[in-house]
Amino acid sequence: MGQCLSCLFSTDTQELGNPLLKEGDDVVEGTPAVLVHGSGDAEAAAALEEKREREEREQALREAEQVAKAAMAKHKEERERQQKEAEERQKALEARAKELAKEKKDREDQEQREREKVEREWVQKQREEEQQERELKEAQKRDRAEREEKDREEKRREHAEREERERQHREGKRPDRHQGESGERH
């Protein structure tokens, strides 16, 4: 299980330190029988060293993979966190933009209502002034017509009075032939 032969034997007595190793067994956890019986020391040591180095490399690779996976996971978490923050900032910016757009539209609508109100008031005032001007002109026209009518009446009356005076003046100088003793005309 990845243990070297020196770990399997006790150092003091050179007895088997691992109960799985027994003398005479052909294979103990992947160790060749030659090593168990003590023959081929140099080859066995080299093979054992090679196996240990391979296992160390594999262990180092596994650890590097774990570190890389952890780093990738951490990087992914950081990227996701940054992306989430960016999305939240974007949402906040969009919400603020909508809020500003609404405020602007509300302000423009209010200004438009105020302009329309001022315009209506101005139009109403103009109409009232025009109406007053028409009424004044009509009153002046009526007054002028009434004065002219009074003047005509006065002239007719004066003319009638003048004619009456002239008639009386003419009649006073000459007697009327058609008038009888009673002063009545026939």
pLDDT digits (tens, 9 = 90+) for 101-117: 999 999 999 999 999 99
CA–CA gap between residue 37 and residue 24 (Å, rounded): 7
**What percentage of the chain reaches a pLDDT higher than 90?**
54
Is position 78 within any domain?
Answer: yes
Q: Is residue 11 part of a domain?
A: no
The domain tally of the chain equals: 1
pLDDT in tens, 63-79: 999 999 999 999 999 99
> How far apart, in whole angstroms, are the C-alpha atoms of residue 33 and residue 23?
9
In a domain, 16, yes or no: no
Three-state SS for 28?
strand
Quote the domain boundaries for residue 96: 45-136
Residue 164 lies in a domain: no
> Do the domain assignments include residue 19?
no
Number of continuous H segments (helices) and E segments (strands) in the chain: 3, 0
Q: Count CA atoms closer than 13 A to 154's CA, side-chain side.
A: 6
Show pLDDT as tens, one digit a residue, over the chain (186 residues).
444 544 544 444 444 444 444 444 444 455 554 444 455 688 888 889 999 999 999 999 999 999 999 999 999 999 999 999 999 999 999 999 999 999 999 999 999 999 999 999 999 999 999 999 999 999 999 999 999 998 899 989 988 988 888 888 888 765 555 555 455 554
Query: How high does pLDDT run on average in the chain?
Result: 80
Separation of first and last alpha carbons in the chain: 174
Cα distance between residue 42 and residue 171, in whole Å: 186
Instruction: Confirm whether 58 is domain-assigned.
Output: yes
Tell me if 158 is assigned to some domain: no
Q: Please indicate, yes or no, if residue 155 is contained in any of the structural domains.
A: no
